[in-house]
């Protein structure tokens, strides 16, 4: 029973981490219909900030982290994505892939290929007991932060004017523009929020690993992609559900798979996602905007 509860907590923590990544990707997708590969590099930039400034007090470091990553996200949109916005989905997809590759290698060019280590906040690596279950502070923080973010994002999208405009743009951008939604502003705000999500994600990820390499964001972002397809492209709640399902299945596979099959966990995971997509090609939650005509 305790093992089961422990597993539930692990699954929730992993799912929460995936969810923060997946939300950043799903948000951009819902507005721009672009899968942002470079989201992982936003996380990498954040990780570099945290590790390189390890001597700066935590609060100031977090402030710098948020400013730099949100700035990078908005800049990325302005420089790379705006010029190709009208050029079709494939072009935008390749552009984001190219930006991701460019930044990954720019990190090598600037910081060298070696990995750097540093402590983010040592308190997070301690743990406490909740009844019979031992919970890592970091995991608790991840779960709580995700809940807070979900509530905040929901309120933002439902209660503010710009949130409403963003939902309208996600539903049908052309019509939204006809009734006065400013495209550049909405897209910039979406990138800003996804930058904030990436900053938080990089904080949690770096606190966990304690090291930074130029590809630190890639592995988790791949998982987040799968979570967004699983949940249904373009649906924010779908992305969150997909992330938690993926986290749960990861933990279950890790527990149940025989030892010699464990290295193949990701392969099984992706195979499982494939099966889900055969049964429900549009993902778990199908949005109106993403429904295909063929």
Partner 1 sequence: MRVLGFVRRSASTPIILALLVALVTIVANSAGDASLRRIVVGAVVNMIAVIGIYLFIGLTGVFSFGQLAFMAIGAYATAIFTVPVATKRALFSAMPEWLADINLPFIPGILAGALVAAVVAFLLSFPMARMQPLSAGLATLAILVAVYTVAGNWTAVTNGSKGMSAIPTNTTMPVALIAVILVIIAVWIFQQSGLGLRIRATREDAVAARAIGIKVGRERGIAFVASAFVMGLAGGLYAQLQGTLSPDAFFLNQTFLLIAMLVVGGLNSLTGAVIGTILITAFRRVLQVIEAGVDIGPLEIPGRPGLTEVGIGIALLVVLALRSSGLTRGTEVSWDSLVRFGKRLTRRGTPSAAPTAAADPESVAGLAAAERTTPETATAEAVIEPERTPGA
Could you list the residues that contact partner 1 (CB under 8 A)?
33, 35, 80, 83-84, 87-91, 93-95, 97-99, 101-102, 104-109, 112-113, 218, 222, 225-226, 228-229, 233, 263-264, 266-267, 270-271, 273-275, 277-278, 281-283, 290, 292-294
Separation between Cα atoms, residue 173 and residue 182, nearest integer Å: 10
Comparing CB distances to partner 1, the nearer of 2 and 105 is: 105
Comparing CB distances to partner 1, the nearer of 47 and 199 is: 47
CB of 176 to partner 1, least distance (A): 18
DSSP 8-state class, residue 261:
G
CB of 21 to partner 1, least distance (A): 14
Question: Taking a C-beta distance cutoff of 8 angstroms, is the pair 253, 268 a contact?
Answer: yes
By CB atoms closer than 10 A (0-12, 13-18, 19+), residue 159 is exposed
CB of 17 to partner 1, least distance (A): 18
By CB atoms closer than 10 A (0-12, 13-18, 19+), residue 277 is middle
Cα dihedral value 204, 210, 213, 218, nearest 10: -30
CB of 88 to partner 1, least distance (A): 7
Comparing CB distances to partner 1, the nearer of 16 and 290 is: 290
CB of 56 to partner 1, least distance (A): 26
Comparing CB distances to partner 1, the nearer of 85 and 182 is: 85
Three-state DSSP class for 133? Answer: strand
Place of tokens 């590969």: 37
Within a 13 Å sphere around the CA of 98, how many CA atoms are in the beta-carbon half? Answer: 10
Comparing CB distances to partner 1, the nearer of 56 and 94 is: 94
């Amino acid at each position: 029973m305790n093992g089961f509860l422990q597993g539930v907590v692990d699954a929730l923590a992993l799912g929460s981490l995936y969810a923060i990544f997946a939300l950043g990707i799903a948000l951009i997708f819902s507005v721009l219909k672009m899968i942002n590969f470079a989201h992982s590099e936003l996380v990498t930039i954040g990780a570099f900030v945290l590790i390189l400034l390890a001597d700066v007090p935590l609060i100031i470091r977090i402030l710098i982290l948020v400013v730099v990553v949100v700035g990078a996200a908005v800049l990325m949109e302005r420089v790379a994505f705006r010029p190709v916005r009208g050029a079709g989905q494939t072009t935008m997809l390749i552009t984001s892939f190219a930006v991701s590759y460019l930044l990954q290698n720019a990190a090598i060019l600037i910081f060298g290929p070696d990995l750097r280590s540093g402590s983010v906040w040592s308190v997070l690596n301690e743990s406490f007991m909740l009844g019979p279950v031992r919970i890592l502070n970091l995991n608790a923080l991840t779960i709580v932060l995700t809940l807070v973010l979900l509530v905040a994002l929901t309120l933002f999208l439902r209660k503010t004017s710009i949130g409403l405009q963003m939902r309208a743009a996600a539903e049908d951008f052309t019509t939204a523009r006809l009734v006065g939604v400013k495209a550049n502003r909405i897209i910039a705000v979406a990138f800003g929020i996804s930058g904030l999500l990436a900053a938080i994600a990089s904080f949690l990820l770096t606190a966990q690993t304690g090291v930074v390499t130029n590809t630190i964001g890639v592995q988790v972002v791949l998982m987040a992609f799968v979570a967004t397809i699983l949940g249904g492209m373009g649906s924010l709640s779908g992305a969150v559900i997909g992330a938690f399902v993926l986290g749960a299945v990861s933990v279950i596979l890790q527990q149940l798979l025989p030892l010699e099959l464990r290295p193949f966990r990701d392969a099984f995971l992706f195979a499982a996602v494939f099966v889900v997509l055969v049964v429900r090609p549009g993902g778990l939650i199908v949005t109106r905007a993403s429904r295909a005509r063929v």
